[in-house]
Structure formats: structure tokens, C-alpha cells
A and B are shown apart, each in its own frame.
Chain A
Amino acid sequence: MSDLPLRSQLAVALGRTAAKMSRLAGKGDGSVIGGRIGLRFDPELLTRLAKDRNLVLVSATNGKTTTTRLITSAMAPLGEVATNAFGANMPTGHVSALASAPGARYGVLECDEKYVPMVLAETGANVVALMNLSRDQMDRAAEIWLLAGKWRKALEKAPQTHVIANCDDPLVTWGASSAKSVTWVAAGQHWREDSWCCPECGGPLDRRDTEEDSDWRCRQCHFSRPRPDWSLRGDHVIDPQGRAIPLDSVQLPGRANRSNAAIALAVVAQFGVPPERALPLLAQVRSVAGRYTTVEHQGRSIRLLLSKNPAGWLEAFDVLAPAPGPVALSVNAQGPDGRDTSWLWDVDYRILRGRPVWVTGERRIDLAARLEAAEVSFTVVDDIEQAVLAVPPGHLDVIANYTAFQDIRTRYGRAL
């Protein structure tokens, strides 16, 4: 930090003051405003702050906040790790994260998919972890074929960077395969509706998917799934030496989190932390920014699940308490959620048949129309509290998209 030029030191100090004022004003954790002011004062601040550190960028449509947290936890044996734990995943957030940990030699940065090329160019990150790409908030997010193409170009220009990528996702594989060195992780892919065509030539992909394994290859060109170095197999990860590492100690539920854990193990192995050392550290992560948190309220145990897009809902369904456990769904369409609710029609809600289902959120009528067409019985309520009080004491799973999730979190206490 003391190596920074005077201008950059001033930029950091100004940003820190702004962040503090933002926090005092009750406007979030201040990392975005702090970073913005720092970058305005010194546009090269991110590059300067990244210098001489070992950095990991983590990007995907789903699971990037959670995986960032898992990697950060497992890198603890290496020393202090800078990270943007609050999900501020654009350069402003990266500046704040690095500025607030000046002595950290390591950094794990969650990175918005669109910003990967820019942040990679500015930080020269040592490792980039790429996990999945699927349709997401189409009214404001980039198209995913386009995005994967930009990853390709960016990685081609960064031969010093090692990539850890999920080879079960054809689009991610294509985006990563221009990198000079790649560790392929067969981390699974359950949402396949964006992966029927070859990203290389547009030909049909032939897929073989079982519960245990996926394989794919293009019928027209050479493009096919690379041979994985690490493989997720049910509750185990097979490491490059062929050892089966049990994941049953991982506390975060569901196959999506086993997939996130597999990626995290491969990333920290790259820094010399072996799986047996990393696993107990992964097991310490029980909730991530409110996700998977259980809140006790009026005799009900309310578990909060965040799902922002069709692939995310598929993973949320995977961790629901067994049927006929009750479920409440809440959907908003504010800016951060995407103002377009069309994606509800890409989710197969029939899996909820036979459960008591409550529906709320600003776009509850969209949800009601969707569930009606899927022949799922449901009750529409004006707010989440009505659903909570309507279920018998016991467990209630709540699936909500971004701002709906934040509303519910705020209502039942952020500290939990």
C-alpha cells in the first residue's frame, strides 16, 4: 500500500471516507460509492491495487458469490485474503475490496460476467474461474454467446493467466479454450436449454447426460468436451490423482453447491492448498449473504433461497425440503431483477405439484398465471408474512429473486 503513488493513496483515502459516510447514512456497505470515488480520482487505481498480489477472478451466471466465499475461506492458510464479500462485483467493488485489505497478498474477486475482460486486463489476475453461462435478465444482461466470445478474446490476450473452467458447460468451455493453460473441472450442468448448439460452428451438440456424468460433442466439427482434470461424481470429487474426496462435510446444500465446492477445490489446489486442508474450511461456510439462512419466526423455520433465473430455480428446487413441505415463492421485477418476467415460462414448476405453495412479490400475478398453466395449486398472498402465518409451525422454504429476497431478508432481520 505504501508503494502506491501519492495520488492513488489519496484516491483510496477519499474512497474510504465516502464509503464510511454511505454506511453511516444507512445506504449499504459503501463499497460501490467508495470504489467509484477512488476510480474517479485515479483511473488506474485497480491496476495499482492489484500489483504484486495473487488474484483470482470468479465469474458465472450463477454461484459466483458463493464460490468466491468458498475459495476465500479455503485460501485462509495462505494468509490474509482480500475479497468483495458483499457481491459488489464490478470494478468499483474490486477497488474497495483491495483498498480495504492493503496487506493482503491474495485476493479473490467475484466478477460480473461482462467485466471479466476489463478486470482481467487491468489486474492481470493469476487465475480465472469460469463456472456456467445461461440466460439471465435479458433486458439488461449481455447475450451469452456474445459474452463467451468476449471471454475468449480476453483470455487469448492473457497468456500468463491460468483458467479453471467447468467443461460440462459447452459455452464456458468455448469461452475458456483460448486460454494458454486450463484446468478442466467436470462440475456438472443441469440447465441445458442454452447448450444444444455448438458454440464453435453452430452444429448440433450430441449430449450424453446421466445423473453421474455428462458428455457432449459437436456432430459437425472437432469441438467436444475436454478431458476433465477434476470430476464431480455425486457426493465426491475425483482429483487429478484419481482420489475420491467426499463432499459430505460441505454445509451449503444441493448439487449446485457441490459443483461450487469442486471448482473451489481446484482453484485453491492451484495455489498449493490440498483438498484435505481446504475441505474443513469449505465446511465452515454455512450461509452466504443471507442465502440458505434459516430464520426463526413465530415458530416457523424459514429458509431463504435466492434464485434469479431459470437455471437458478432448477438448483433451488433441488434443495427443497421433501414434498409435501410448503414453499413460498416471491418475484419482483425491479431493475436488479430484470423488468421482464418472461423467464418464468422457462422454469418447469410442475415439480411443485402436491405441495402447499404460496405466491407473493410485486409480480405475483405473473407467477399465478405461470403456476395455473403448470397445474400447480397455489394461494396468492399480499406479503410473505401472510404465507409464514398460514403454514403450520415447522419448516418453510422461500424462493425469491433478487430484490424480493432482499425485502424478505430485511423484514426478518439482516443479522440472521
Chain B
Amino acid sequence: MPSDRIKIVWIYPDLLSTYGDQGNTIMLERRAALRGIPTETVHLRSDEPVPQDGDIYLLGGGEDRPQILAAQRLRNDGGLNNAAARGAVVFAVCAGYQIIGHEFGGDEGQQLPGLGILDIRSGRGQQRAVGEVVGDVAAELNVPRITGFENHQGATTIGPNARPLAKVVAGVGNGDGQGFEGAYAGKVLGTYMHGPALVRNPGLADLLLRWALGHEIAPLDDSWAGRLREERLNAVLAAQQG
């Protein structure tokens, strides 16, 4: 790459932006800027075509009906599938995580087709998972222990062509009884840690930036976001022991 520059495409904030998902775009922009890397962010409405020249595509959380609408529109558009096929970074949260899989559960228990970008299948779980979640990330990703907030009723099973993002230390995660949270394959990564997952986990934000740039990046002083991560980890693990 002649000069570093990152184009971020925030997919459908009019449908999939329920839990502070904007935090993820802000964090990517900020952590790139602190390293002198310019970014351009597109807030893509659901009536617009998915741009083909994005480096990082973000999908957020949403209610049942908006999730179904978003999945339909992305399937009709086809642009996100093309972007993933050519190796763009995709980071999907909660409802967005379910959408990028092969199928997900709709509002009346029906199974609906997803985009099939990630080898996962989701359905409705027995119980709603609401609370803090902590997990130890797959070693090859070189990301420290992750922390976030989950609020979903999904049960997601990972197929042979994807790997678990993390092993659950606290909370529920994928909810299929395997004790994993999230999944990834290539540069496509999904998680139930909703909303500002990249704020709570600066290491995960840096992973996406490294993937987009194709090379290592200088470390940063994580300042308040780093302190937030520590404070949350301590609070959750203390509650678990107490």
C-alpha cells in the first residue's frame, strides 16, 4: 500500500445502531488518527448501495424487525458479500453478527437466510443473555482478554470454516452450550459483545486496523479506554468470585 489510509463503512445505522454502535466507528477513527493514519467514514443508509472500496465494514445491533430488513437489503445488494470475498475487514456485532452467518432466527421463531459470509448458524436460544461477558481470545489473534456487554437471545453454532473468537470466562457468549464467544474466519469477525465493543477492547480495534493495513502498527497509550477495560474486568471477575 503506497500510503496508509482507511475507508470505514458503517452499514445501515438507520437499522443497526441500537447499543451505542457509533462507538466502534469513533474508536477506529481515533486510534488510526493517533497514529497519523487518515480515515474516511461512510454512514451508509439502508436505501443506498454498499460501496465496494471500503477497507473495514461495520455492522451493529438491532431489534428483530430492523434486523430482518437489514438482512434482506444486504442480500439484495450483494455488495458486502463481494467486499468480504475480496478480503475486506468485516466486524459485526449482535444482530449484525447473526446476519453475516448462514441463517438466523426471526421475530416469530422462523429461520431466515443470512449473508453466509461467516460459517455460523444462529437460532433462538431458551433464555435471554443479559450482562457483562469476558473471554480469552484465540491465541493466534494476539488480542488480550476481551470484555463487553451482551444482550441477546441467540444461540450461535460455529461451523468447520470458522473459529471461536474467545473462550468464555464470564457471561454466556454464543449460547450454544460450547462456552465460546464470537467467531472469525480470515478478516471477518463477529461477536455478541454489543455496542462499543471496540471501546471496551482497544486490542480488538487495533486488530481490525492491522488487518485493514496489512502490517503491524505502533502501540498506543490506551489512556481512559484502557482504564475502562481494566475496571470492567476487575468488577466482573470480582463479582464472579464473590
Interface residues of A (CB under 8 A from B): 135, 138-140, 143-146, 193, 196-197, 202-204, 219, 339-346, 365-366, 368-370, 372-374
Instruction: Judge whether B228 and A340 touch: CB under 8 Å.
Output: no
Q: Give the contacts of B142-158 with A (CB-CB under 8 A).
A: 149, 151
Contact among A140, A143, A339, A373 with B27 in the assembled complex (CB-CB below 8 Å): A373
Instruction: Judge whether B23 and A345 touch: CB under 8 Å.
Output: yes
Residue-wise, chain B 14-34 has the 8 Å CB interface mask toward A (1 for contact) of 110111111100110010000
Instruction: Judge whether A373 and B26 touch: CB under 8 Å.
Output: yes
Q: How far is the CA of A226 from the CA of B223 in the complex (A)?
A: 50
Instruction: Judge whether A342 and B149 touch: CB under 8 Å.
Output: yes
Shortest Cβ gap from A138 to chain B (Å): 6
Instruction: Judge whether B46 and A197 touch: CB under 8 Å.
Output: yes
Q: How far is the CA of A122 from the CA of B10 in the complex (A)?
A: 45
Interface residues of B (CB under 8 A from A): 13-15, 17-23, 26-27, 30, 45-47, 63-66, 69, 130-131, 149, 151, 194-196, 199, 223-225, 227-228, 231
Instruction: Judge whether B228 and A369 touch: CB under 8 Å.
Output: yes
Shortest Cβ gap from B57 to chain A (Å): 19
Q: A196-B45, A197-B15, A373-B30 are in contact. Are A340 and B64 (CB under 8 A)?
A: no
Known: A138-B18, A145-B65. 6 other contacts (CB 8 A): A193-B13, A196-B15, A197-B69, A202-B69, A346-B22, A372-B223
Report 17 cross-chain contacts, Cβ distance below 8 Å, ordered by A residue.
A138-B19, A143-B63, A144-B63, A145-B65, A145-B66, A146-B64, A196-B45, A197-B46, A202-B65, A219-B47, A341-B149, A342-B20, A345-B22, A365-B227, A369-B199, A373-B23, A373-B26
Instruction: Judge whether A342 and B19 touch: CB under 8 Å.
Output: yes
Instruction: Judge whether B45 and A342 touch: CB under 8 Å.
Output: no
Q: How far is the CA of A342 from the CA of B21 in the complex (A)?
A: 8
Shortest Cβ gap from B18 to chain A (Å): 6
Q: A145-B66, A146-B64, A373-B30 are in contact. Are A365 and B224 (CB under 8 A)?
A: yes
Residue of B nearest to A344 (CB): B20
Q: Which residues of A contact B17 (CB under 8 A)?
A: 193, 346
Instruction: Judge whether A197 and B151 touch: CB under 8 Å.
Output: no
Q: Which residues of B contact A344 (CB under 8 A)?
A: 20, 23
Q: How far is the CA of A321 from the CA of B231 in the complex (A)?
A: 33
Q: A197-B14, A204-B45 are in contact. Are A138 and B64 (CB under 8 A)?
A: no
Q: How far is the CA of A203 from the CA of B73 in the complex (A)?
A: 11
Q: Which residues of B contact A346 (CB under 8 A)?
A: 17, 20, 22
Residue of A nearest to B63 (CB): A143
Q: Which residues of B contact A341 (CB under 8 A)?
A: 149
Shortest Cβ gap from B67 to chain A (Å): 11
Q: How far is the CA of A370 from the CA of B22 in the complex (A)?
A: 11
Q: How far is the CA of A138 from the CA of B20 in the complex (A)?
A: 11
Q: How far is the CA of A366 from the CA of B149 in the complex (A)?
A: 13
Instruction: Judge whether B224 and A372 touch: CB under 8 Å.
Output: yes
Instruction: Judge whether A345 and B21 touch: CB under 8 Å.
Output: yes
Q: Which residues of A contact B46 (CB under 8 A)?
A: 197, 204
Residue of B nearest to A143 (CB): B63
Q: Which residues of B contact A144 (CB under 8 A)?
A: 63
Shortest Cβ gap from A241 to chain B (Å): 38
Contact among B14, B131, B195 with A196 in the assembled complex (CB-CB below 8 Å): B14
Contact among B23, B26, B47, B151 with A340 in the assembled complex (CB-CB below 8 Å): B151
Residue of A nearest to B22 (CB): A345
Residue of B nearest to A343 (CB): B20
Instruction: Judge whether B47 and A368 touch: CB under 8 Å.
Output: no
Q: How far is the CA of A146 from the CA of B153 in the complex (A)?
A: 15
Shortest Cβ gap from B202 to chain A (Å): 10
Q: Which residues of B contact A374 (CB under 8 A)?
A: 26
Contact among A135, A138, A139, A342 with B196 in the assembled complex (CB-CB below 8 Å): A342
Contact among B21, B45, B47, B228 with A365 in the assembled complex (CB-CB below 8 Å): B228
Instruction: Judge whether A342 and B23 touch: CB under 8 Å.
Output: yes
Q: Which residues of A contact B224 (CB under 8 A)?
A: 365, 368-369, 372
Contact among B64, B69, B196 with A345 in the assembled complex (CB-CB below 8 Å): B196
Q: Which residues of A contact B15 (CB under 8 A)?
A: 196-197
Instruction: Judge whether B149 and A340 touch: CB under 8 Å.
Output: yes
Q: A-B pairs with the 7 shortest C-beta distances?
A: A342-B195, A345-B20, A345-B23, A196-B14, A342-B20, A369-B224, A143-B63
Residue of A nearest to B73 (CB): A202
Instruction: Judge whether B45 and A340 touch: CB under 8 Å.
Output: no
Q: Which residues of B contact A135 (CB under 8 A)?
A: 18
Q: A196-B14, A343-B19 are in contact. Are A139 and B151 (CB under 8 A)?
A: yes
